[in-house]
Structure 1
Amino acid sequence: SHTVSRHDVYFRKRIIAITHVKIMKWYDYEYLEKIEVRREDQTLHMFKEGIIYLDKLKRNRLMRSDELYKFSDGTLTSIRTVLQDIAFDLRMEYLPKRKWSERDRTTSRIMIKAIDKHLYERRLMRNLEKSVGGREYGEDFRLLERII
């Protein structure tokens, strides 16, 4: 019997075993610092920094800060908005009803900086492609004015 939990994290490759977990205790809270897992292909994978978010199918997904290139601009923007609400300690209805620790807010700020940098680099590359002629301008008249 496979029960599905809302706390499950789905991967493309199945996790066979968790080989090592490093947890930091701070007051009454425990934080996952590092987890090492063995996947179907018998390779070890280590995760350090990242966040867990809900995808469109309402499944928990892991977004690592070094794998931002895999996500679309829309996904990154929506996750950035949620992280910004956590970083500023805003009480929103879609966020869990708990007090965010300083570590949660710091992690959110780190991920926001990584997402901002990645989105900036994507925008820059798109603009360069357009100026060289690799992409059509379409309705982007502001970019056209800057180039001319």
Structure 2
Amino acid sequence: MKGFIQYDSPIGILTIVSDGESITEVLLPETELSALDAEPAEYCVLIEASKQLQEYFNGTRTHFQLPLFTEGTPFQMRVWDALRTIPFGESLSYAEIAEKAGSPKAVRAVGQANKANKLPILVPCHRVIGKNKSLTGYAGTKTDLKAVLLELEKVDFR
């Protein structure tokens, strides 16, 4: 049975979901929970994820060490693997991620893979910005959240 815990972060309430062993989703603020097939739980992995997120937002954690479960197309998996290589405090362009994922012409598809990322923050799709350092879509239209995360990490994006 999937369980979840909520964490009140500087960007709003995050809902962290687990299958009991791995983190399977992080829902950003204002995400509708009615379709979530999970119930409140106190799995150790959820408590640890909440703790690590608090450390991240406090500026004392730059890398997450959590068991993560991701499921997607082979291309999405390559993109998400590439996202995990972007260090804290740095950013890459969509084109650079496409290159790392082995599909240099798939810049728009990288954007769609980022949008499909069910583990935002933990798999740092917020670190992908436009080639001209502009903010482009984050979780659809939440560029304000992306800006807060990048400012927290002191990434130049303006």
Structure 2 length normalisation: TM-score? 0.26
Q: Which has the higher contact order (CA 8 A, sep 6+)?
A: 2
Of Structure 1 and Structure 2, the greater helix share is in 1
Larger Rg belongs to: 1
Structure 1 length normalisation: TM-score? 0.27
